[in-house]
Amino acid sequence: MTLIHLFDGTTDARYGKALIPAFAEHAKYRHIQCTPSPGGIDMLTYEIVKAAEKESWNAARRQADILQFVPGVLNRVGTEFLGAYTFTLTEKDLYAGDLNWGFGCVLPDGNNGKHLILSTHRFKDLAALTHTAIHEMGHMFGAARPGRRNTEHNLGSHCTNLCVMQQKVTVPEMEKYVALLASRNDKFCLDCQTDLKNYC
């Protein structure tokens, strides 16, 4: 069983609820439990995200710095999350290093833990948010394994098949691709499904 600790800092429950189909997609390949439940109200984790947003806020850019944000969440709740899987959801726009902005990413903690952060800021369409959550969780669980056939290295290892693990860097490009995958029951290609099944 894989436990994911959710830190939902959004004020609109629709964002948390949009994660439910993303967890369901991954539940095809591993037994996942998410706590607290997505789309519910959990004031403690909400306040943790709000405090980390403030600390990582770059007023000149009007964006939060991912590299300060994620440790800000984890350090507030102690080291019990080292080696764990966490998922932080924020309404703030994100950037990291040289990147102008990003939907989100997964940061490893050096202790086999993985820490996903995802921003709702650039999405008007909840289906695109769900798609990106599936994609980022794919990074968390080994999809598009580096060096595998039909992958490319472009801000991380990505799939070149018709697959949720394809890299999309603009919102229109992403929304178009979400529509293309809409009729598919499985959002991961067979290569990525194998990666997910073999990840441990």
96 binding Zn ion? (CB under 5 A): no
Give least dist CB 164 to Zn ion, A.
Answer: 7
Kindly state whether residue 192 participates in binding Zn ion, applying the rule CB under 5 A.
Answer: yes
Residue span 116-155 as binding mask against Zn ion, x where in contact by CB under 5 A, dash where not: ----------------------------------------
Nearer to Zn ion, 6 or 192 (CB): 192
Are residues 56 and 69 in contact, defined by beta-carbon separation less than 8 angstroms?
A: yes
Smallest distance from Zn ion to CB 70, Å: 16
Instruction: Supply the minimum distance, in Å, between the C-beta of residue 171 and Zn ion.
Output: 15
Instruction: Tell me if 19 contacts Zn ion by CB under 5 A.
Output: no
Of 153, 87, 80, nearest to 114 by C-alpha is: 87
Q: Is the separation of the CB atoms in 159 and 144 below 8 Å? A: yes
> What whole-number distance in Å separates Cα of residue 178 and Cα of residue 18?
14
Identified binder of Zn ion from the candidate list 21, 161, 181, 186, rule CB under 5 A = 161
**Is 165 one of the binding residues for Zn ion (CB under 5 A)?**
yes
Q: Does 159 bind Zn ion (CB under 5 A)?
A: yes
From candidates 74, 163, 174, 178, binder to Zn ion by CB under 5 A: 163
CB of 199 to Zn ion, least distance (A): 13
72-78: which pairs have CB atoms within 8 A and are 24 or more residues apart?
A: 73/7, 73/48, 73/49, 73/115, 74/109, 74/115, 76/48, 76/51, 76/52, 77/48
Decide: is 48 part of the binding site for Zn ion (CB under 5 A).
no
193 binds Zn ion (CB under 5 A): no
Q: Of these, 49, 107, 189, 196, which contacts Zn ion (CB under 5 A)?
A: 189
The CA distance from 25 to 106, in Å, is 18
Q: What is the DSSP code (8-state) at residue 142? A: T
- Give the Cα separation of 37 and 22 in Å (integer): 13
The span from the CA of 45 to the CA of 8, in Å, is 6
Residues lying near Zn ion in the complex (CB under 5 A) are found at 156, 159, 161, 163, 165, 189, 192
